[in-house]
Amino acid sequence: TYGGSGILLGGVPGVMPAKVLIIGGGIVGTEAAKMAAGLGADITIMDVSLKRLRYLDDIMPANVKTRMSNDYNIREMARSHDLIIGAVLIPGAKAPHLVTRDMLKTMHPGTVLVDVAVDQGGCFETTSATTHAEPVFIIDDVIHYCVANMPGAVPRTSTIALTNATLPFAIQIAEKGWKKACIDSVPLRKGLNVVEGKVVYKGVAEAFNLPYQEVETILN
């Protein structure tokens, strides 16, 4: 258990299930909630969008509750949950630190933090990238799971899924060349980060404090 609480997510008759807090109601957070709900956990999912929370209320089972995401609510909820999943992503930009170091001292020993946003810098202040060989570390008796390539745990499934999503774009690039393909395809164009030494993705430019240039001025 790597020193965890030893709690079964779904509980058993006469024993309460684990309490799971998911910060971020996007695709990752939604799928995490579905998995935990299927196992019978007591789940709260947080997001800054009231529209998204209404949607989640409509589609999720009764053991999934929603709550507005802000510093006060995160601090309050973090004290009482067994598993906290950070699933906040700002495309192309560094993830915000929503769980701070001082919050760890309010959590009970053995609480597990899973930072899915680790590839974007992590949404926990104490996040540090780990590997599948050594997946966890402990700070203030709180277990951190911050594997930088989580899909690598199931390489066949993740590779096939990624190929299904990216193959059409690869074919466009092969047939037209990267520049023509990006001119013709908005999704491909939005995926560009650096072109001819210039940063063309605003989030990346802001994260690294570099000059930003609109990609259209280069491609055209």
Q: Which amino acid appears at position 100 of this protein?
A: T
Residues 6+ apart with CB under 8 A from 31: none
Q: What is the mean pLDDT of the chain?
A: 94
How is residue 108 annotated by DSSP? P
Across the beta sheet with 136-139, what order do the strands follow? 64-68, 42-47, 19-23, 83-86, 112-115, 142-145, 136-139
pLDDT at position 104, please? 97
CB 123 within 8 A of CB 98: yes
Question: What is the pLDDT averaged over residues 188-199?
Answer: 94
Beta carbons of 149 and 133 less than 8 angstroms apart: no
Q: What pLDDT band is residue 1 in, cutting at 50, 70 and 90?
A: low
- Measured between alpha carbons, how far is 39 from 34 in angstroms, rounded to an integer? 9
Cβ-count burial of 18 within 10 angstroms (0-12 exposed, 13-18 middle, 19+ buried)? buried
pLDDT of residue 69: 97
* Predicted pLDDT at 144: 97
User: Is the domain covering 19-151 a CATH 3.20.20.220 domain?
Assistant: no
Q: Residue 97 and residue 88: Cα distance in Å, rounded?
A: 9
What are the sequence ranges of the domains in the chain? 19-151, 154-219
Task: Compute the average pLDDT of residues 35-48.
Answer: 97
Instruction: Summarize pLDDT for 148-169 with one digit per residue, the tens.
Output: 999 999 999 999 999 999 999 9
Average pLDDT over residues 39-50: 97
Q: Where are the beta strands (DSSP E) in the chain?
A: 19-23, 42-47, 64-68, 83-86, 112-115, 136-139, 142-145, 194-195, 198-199
CB atoms within 10 A of CB 89: 19
Read off the pLDDT of residues 133-146 as tens digits, 9 standing for 90 and up.
999 999 999 999 99
Q: How confident is the model at residue 204 (pLDDT cuts 50, 70, 90)?
A: confident
Q: Pick 4 or 87 by higher pLDDT.
A: 87
Rounded to an integer, the average pLDDT of 108-114 is: 96
Q: Is the pLDDT of residue 106 over 70?
A: yes
pLDDT over threshold 80, residue 92: no
What's the rounded Cα separation, in Å, for the pair 22 and 30?
9
Mean pLDDT of 87-100: 85
93 pLDDT more than 90: no
Query: Confidence band (pLDDT; 50, 70, 90) for 5?
Result: confident
Strands 42-47 and 19-23: parallel
